[in-house]
Amino acid sequence: AQSVTQLDSQVPVFEEAPVELRCNYSSSVSVYLFWYVQYPNQGLQLLLKYLSGSTLVKGINGFEAEFNKSQTSFHLRKPSVHISDTAEYFCAVRRGNRDDKIIFGKGTRLHILP
């Protein structure tokens, strides 16, 4: 069975500073990995996904993530955050294309400090 661990429940960061949100997964088979964002009082929106190929994936709003198979990680980064990035971020994992079960982490709340 797959699982996801988001190591930080909350991350405070100053506006225009870089940020990294950490995600580790476990699975015995190859995986698809996702980051979703949930703005206050809204639903979930896909930021980016890794299915195969290049380990560095770029998403919307200037976010990117790097898949690291040896460390079983998929950390999300942004070089300069804005107040509009205040949201909760969720990492999710799916066991490749053969299994439709998709598991989410507990989320990381990003606080942007002025």
Partner 1 sequence: NAGVTQTPKFQVLKTGQSMTLQCAQDMNHNSMYWYRQDPGMGLRLIYYSASEGTTDKGEVPNGYNVSRLNKREFSLRLESAAPSQTSVYFCASLGRITLGEQYFGPGTRLTVT
Does the protein bind partner 1 through residue 55 (CB under 8 A)? no
Does the protein bind partner 1 through residue 27 (CB under 8 A)? no
Does the protein bind partner 1 through residue 30 (CB under 8 A)? no
Eight-class DSSP state of 53: S
- Which one, of 84, 51, 83, lies nearest residue 67 by Cα? 51
- One of 58, 69, 106, 111 touching partner 1 (CB under 8 A): 106
Please state the closest distance from residue 47 (CB atom) to partner 1, in A: 10
C-alpha distances in Å from residue 114, one per residue of 12, 88, 111: 11, 18, 10
Does the protein bind partner 1 through residue 101 (CB under 8 A)? yes
Eight-class DSSP state of 61: G
CB 4 within 8 A of CB 93: yes
Segment 34 to 53, residues that bind partner 1, using CB under 8 A: 34, 43-44, 46, 49, 51
Binding residues for partner 1, rule: CB under 8 A, are 6, 9, 32, 34, 43-44, 46, 49, 51, 90, 92, 94, 100-107
